[in-house]
Copies of this chain bind each other. A is one copy, B any other.
Amino acid sequence: MGKKCIGVDIGGTTVKLGLFETDGTLLHKWEVTTRKEDGGKYILPDVAASIREVLSQRGIGLEDVVGAGMGVPGPVMPDGQVELCVNLGWRNMNPQNELSALLDGIPVKSGNDANVAALGEMWQGGGKGFSDIVMVTLGTGVGGGVILNQKIVAGRHGLGGEIGHIHVRDEETEHCNCGGVGCVEQIASATGIAREARRKMAASDAPSAMRKYGDDITAKDVLDEAKAGDQMALEVVEIVGRYLGLLLAQLALTVDPEMFVIGGGVSRAGQFLIDVIEKHYQFFTPISKNKAKIGLAQLGNDAGIYGAARQVLD
């Protein structure tokens, strides 16, 4: 029996777990509820108990496990320290040391969840076969992960891959959650896309298929109507694609990866969205034709467990 590794993706509602062969084969995946009471102090014990149970059911001992990797929804310092993780209630703790202690000292390595998802996509997803990728996750917010030489660029202060909070739009006046103004996240997240649509509808009396959704319009509605040819929806997608294309250009001219992987719920719009991003990316990188390609993520919500597990395989 070959060695195994474990991926733990800690979210605000559920913890996703995966048991893997070291070659990336997913053997089993499961979930436990995230108990956030009392500063989140039950989360890691619950995770450890669940891992022990699953291993036991399969006749696998902890000595057969290379290690467990973890994705955490917040900044993680180079030594694994988490100063504040609002979604979990964690404050000034080192979850990788704690989980390791709960699992007889097996190696545990943690990373920010968006960075970890990027590593997962590099390992077994849209970036498989590449060593240098940047993933952009378009969900409720905009997350990112920079992977160079098959390793996460976590940064010295936990800000590596925080690309959703790069300022790109000078004329913005509303504030982002981060305190900034004109962040990528304000435009290209699911909430941002819906906001752009509401703005467009409010700014003119032109007819649009988007109007039937009113203020409850979602990013999916916008993208669906754009695909169906609605002019105003296409204008919203153009805006989103412009700023994402600009973001990718900035990244290409900084770390120059082999490929960009676009993931998150918004990326379900598929090649239609990629094509718009691609057009603007080309516009902002006239310096060279030879540069990173853009593709779609492939692992969906499993990217986190894949990437978490991959962290312990270096």
Q: Is residue A92 within 8 Å, beta carbon to beta carbon, of the partner chain? A: no
Selected from B75, B146, B180, B284, the residue in CB contact (under 8 A) with A255 is: B146
Selected from B159, B166, B179, B250, the residue in CB contact (under 8 A) with A256 is: B159
**How far, in angstroms, from A165 to B283 measured CA to CA in the complex?**
12
For this chain, the copies found in one complex come to: 2
Q: Are A153 and B255 in contact (CB under 8 A)?
A: yes
**How far, in angstroms, from A252 to B166 measured CA to CA in the complex?**
9
List residues 249-268 of chain A with CB under 8 A from any CB of chain B.
249-258
Q: Are A132 and B156 in contact (CB under 8 A)?
A: yes
Q: Which of A100-108, A225-233, A285-293, A300-308 contacts B (4 or more CB under 8 A)?
A: A285-293
Q: Are B249 and A159 in contact (CB under 8 A)?
A: no
Most chain B beta-carbon contacts within 10 A, residue among A155, A179, A246, A284: A155
Q: Is residue A73 within 8 Å, beta carbon to beta carbon, of the partner chain? A: no
Q: Are B254 and A166 in contact (CB under 8 A)?
A: yes
Knowing A249-B167, A287-B165, say if A255 contacts B155 (CB, 8 Å): yes
**How far, in angstroms, from A173 to B166 measured CA to CA in the complex?**
23
Selected from B75, B155, B292, the residue in CB contact (under 8 A) with A157 is: B292
Say which size band chain A's interface belongs to. Answer: 35 or more
Of chain B, the residue at the smallest CB distance from A167 is B284
Q: Is residue A158 within 8 Å, beta carbon to beta carbon, of the partner chain? A: yes
Of chain B, the residue at the smallest CB distance from A134 is B254
Residues in B with CB closer than 8 Å to A146 are 254-255
Q: Are A253 and B162 in contact (CB under 8 A)?
A: yes
CB pairs A–B below 8 angstroms (22 shown): A75-B288, A132-B156, A146-B254, A153-B255, A155-B255, A155-B256, A155-B257, A156-B258, A157-B288, A157-B291, A158-B288, A158-B290, A159-B253, A160-B256, A165-B287, A166-B254, A178-B286, A178-B287, A180-B285, A180-B287, A254-B254, A255-B255
Residues in B with CB closer than 8 Å to A291 are 157, 159
